[in-house]
Copies of this chain bind each other. A is one copy, B any other.
């Protein structure tokens, strides 16, 4: 079975839809700098590989990926592409609306871009639910790995850190240049953290300014975290954990 919608013809989609219980996955990521050791497309690839594996296990289709996200802060380094969140809200809404007209009624939006894509997805998802009468859930690996990450001995969410790097080592090893990775441990700030598992009092996330990003870029070429701790094996454990959660979410929606 080919789970990617774009590789099926319309009559094959009809068959897929029947099997799917009306559930479809939409992978969304970003094209943004990921240090010198990971490719710009890491976030989209993450969303795609989670989507693909869970889709195969559950027999549901996956929509073509959206390679662009909200990345204003990563514009500090070349190759980053950012769409305005107001535009992204409309893109996702139109994708959901189109698919809903063909009978898909339950949408799992995978965010490979962690935290930053969530705000516009929430706005888009609420409108889709209210106007189209569909169900939309937002699945973000950073929120879906709060339990496994400390077990792997990995630190808080950074950028291109050991979590993302391990994950890419498992699935796209040829695109990872571990020898170019720079460590830059996540620093503790009072009342602030981008890690969704942070237990203390905290301000809410706002993407950094370019000026602030320059500091972190100067420190480690765009990386925050300790990529040197990465391993393919832990990447697989992490992947399987998140895919398991995704399968659970899909199975529950199929009913």
On whether the beta carbons of A81 and B63 are closer than 8 Å, the reply is yes
Copies of this subunit: 6
* Count of A interface residues, CB-CB < 8 Å: 96
Q: Report whether B84 and A90 are in contact in the complex, using a CB–CB cutoff of 8 Å.
A: yes
Contact A6 B67 (CB under 8 A): yes
How many angstroms between the C-alpha atoms of A77 and B67 in the bound complex? 25
Distance in Å: Cβ of A106 to nearest Cβ of chain B:
13
Contact A41 to B177, CB < 8 A, known contacts A123-B86, A199-B146, A207-B126: no
Q: Which of B17, B98, B120, B130 contacts A81 (CB 8 A)?
A: B98
**A6 with B41: CB separation less than 8 A:** yes
Q: From known contacts A84-B90, A91-B91, A126-B206, infer whether A35 and B9 are also in contact, taking CB-CB under 8 Å.
A: yes
Q: Is the interface of A mostly helix, strand, loop or mixed?
A: mixed
Contacts of A248 in B (CB 8 A): 190-191
Question: A134: nearest residue on chain B (CB-CB)?
Answer: B209
Q: Does A166 lie at the interface of the complex (its beta carbon under 8 Å from any beta carbon of B)?
A: no
**Looking at the complex, which one of B8, B191, B200 makes contact with A40 (CB distance below 8 Å)?**
B8
Q: A residues bordering B, Cβ < 8 Å?
A: 4-11, 13-14, 17, 31, 33-41, 44-45, 63-68, 72, 75, 77-87, 89-91, 94-95, 98-99, 101-103, 111, 118-123, 125-126, 129-130, 136-140, 143-148, 175, 177, 180, 190-191, 197, 199-207, 209-210, 221-222, 245, 248-249
A sample of 18 more A-B contacts (CB under 8 A), given A8-B40, A72-B130, A147-B200, is A9-B35, A10-B78, A10-B222, A13-B78, A31-B63, A80-B98, A83-B91, A83-B95, A84-B90, A87-B90, A118-B119, A121-B204, A138-B206, A139-B203, A143-B204, A146-B200, A147-B201, A191-B245
